[in-house]
Amino acid sequence: MESVILIKYGELSTKKDNINFFLRQLKENILFALSDLDASVTYDLGRMFIHTKEHFDEVIKRVKNVFGIHEMNIGYIIASTNFDEIKKEVLSLLKEKEFTTFKVESKRANKKLDTTSIELSRNLGAYLLKNMSGLKVDVKSPEVLVNVEYRLKNTLVYFEKIKGLGGYPVGTLGKGMLMLSGGIDSPVAGYLTMKRGVKIEAIYFESPPHTSMEAKNKVISLARKLALYNNDLILHVVNFTEIQEAIYKNIPHEYLITIMRRMMYRISAILASKRNAKILINGESIGQVASQTLTSMSAINETVSIPVIRPLACFDKLDIIDIAKSIDTYKTSILPFEDCCTIFVPKHPVINPSKEKCHEYEELIPYKDLIYEAIKTHEVKKITAKEDNDEFKDLL
């Protein structure tokens, strides 16, 4: 009998035609999460198995961050389909546990069996009652649920369920470019998009010396938290200083943010296309700030033709904060380093910007040259989840 970690796919199993594509990617992502451990992955008949001699706790802790897994179990593969042998093996497994109430649940992947699942459960239940004293069946809330799956060449037994994150394996739905600031919202937007199977790269606009090294390190730290779900993460750091200063000097201040965001969108769209990313992703939420009214979003969005996905468009801030806490980005996001938007915030930003005025004002600066330069000089960093994750340990 071999102990394995059993992976169940949940929502993935609805992908009938291209399930193999999803499973190959899931296997790859699991192996990536375990790359410094000695482990292998196999799959068949709707189940995936991790074979390893490493500590199961450590393996499960890592695999818990892989999208596309509905549930995990510590399972036992009995290399037999003979019911008498199976009964004995299950008994030996249960003898190591302390409990009084139990229930057996059976599944037949081997449809050739002429016994029904209910009969199999009853037979095994009766055998256990006979061979272990003091046991009782409780069908509603048993202390131990004995799951037995009768397969073609072997039999699978498992007890406790460990919940996975769900979603689709990262990489199965292509690539997206996340606009990642140091705030609370954009890391959450990135997380939710990765959960739908989209692999992300991120882009951060910095404005040194108006923004500090700490602000940049904060974004790197957030990128590292996201890398955990993304098999590493490529971060593009774009120097935005000249563009921002040109806007600040030449354009009426109520339009600063609108024009600045139009420039960010343009640069993000160009980098997305260079990197073969099919969407932009950002943390905008309807109504949250002046640049997130519907008129503002429309005036900003017209600069690009790539789809812009806003996973948080309809979320309340408190719900966003709950997710930020659950993925451990919140404490980093609220560190008090200015990002480039907060420094150049005007007293009265326009709430309903006109597109015509945007066009008129943009003629006042050589924005195409500035954008070209910003892209040409941008810095690319590969961020891995495994490096030291304690940039701010004194502050957190």
Q: Rule CB under 6 A: say whether 304 interacts with ligand ATP.
A: no
- Locate 147 and state its tokens: 């799951």
Q: Rule CB under 6 A: say whether 289 interacts with ligand ATP.
A: yes
- Give whichever of 106 and 211 is closer to Mg ion, judged by the CB atom: 211
Burial of 276 (0-12, 13-18, 19+ CB in 10 A): exposed
69 binds, among Mg ion, ligand ATP, none (CB under 5 to 8 A by kind): none
Out of 52, 244, 282, 332, the residue judged to bind ligand ATP by CB under 6 A: 282
Q: Rule CB under 6 A: say whether 181 interacts with ligand ATP.
A: yes
- Give whichever of 201 and 339 is closer to ligand ATP, judged by the CB atom: 339
Q: Which helix or strand (DSSP H or E) is residue 312 part of?
A: none
Q: Note whether 177 and 279 are within 8 A (CB).
A: yes
- Give whichever of 181 and 231 is closer to Mg ion, judged by the CB atom: 181
192 binds, among ligand ATP, Mg ion, none (CB under 5 to 8 A by kind): none
- Locate 29 and state its tokens: 């992502």
Out of 185, 210, 225, 258, the residue judged to bind ligand ATP by CB under 6 A: 185
- Give whichever of 81 and 217 is closer to ligand ATP, judged by the CB atom: 217
Q: Rule CB under 5 A: say whether 181 interacts with Mg ion.
A: yes
Q: Rule CB under 6 A: say whether 288 interacts with ligand ATP.
A: yes
Q: Rule CB under 6 A: say whether 205 interacts with ligand ATP.
A: yes
Q: Note whether 63 and 30 are within 8 A (CB).
A: yes
Give me the least distance between CB of 156 and Mg ion, in Å please: 48
- Locate 359 and state its tokens: 């066009």
The residue whose Cβ lies closest to ligand ATP is 183
Strand order in the sheet with 175-179: 308-309, 279-281, 175-179, 199-206, 233-239, 379-383
DSSP conformation letters of 54-99: S-HHHHHHHHTT-TTEEEEEEEEEES---HHHHHHHHHHHHTTS--
Residue 363 identity:
E
Out of 75, 125, 169, 183, the residue judged to bind Mg ion by CB under 5 A: 183
Q: Note whether 310 and 284 are within 8 A (CB).
A: yes
Chain positions contacting Mg ion, by CB under 5 A: 181, 183
Chain positions contacting ligand ATP, by CB under 6 A: 179-181, 183-186, 203-205, 282-284, 288-289, 291, 339-341
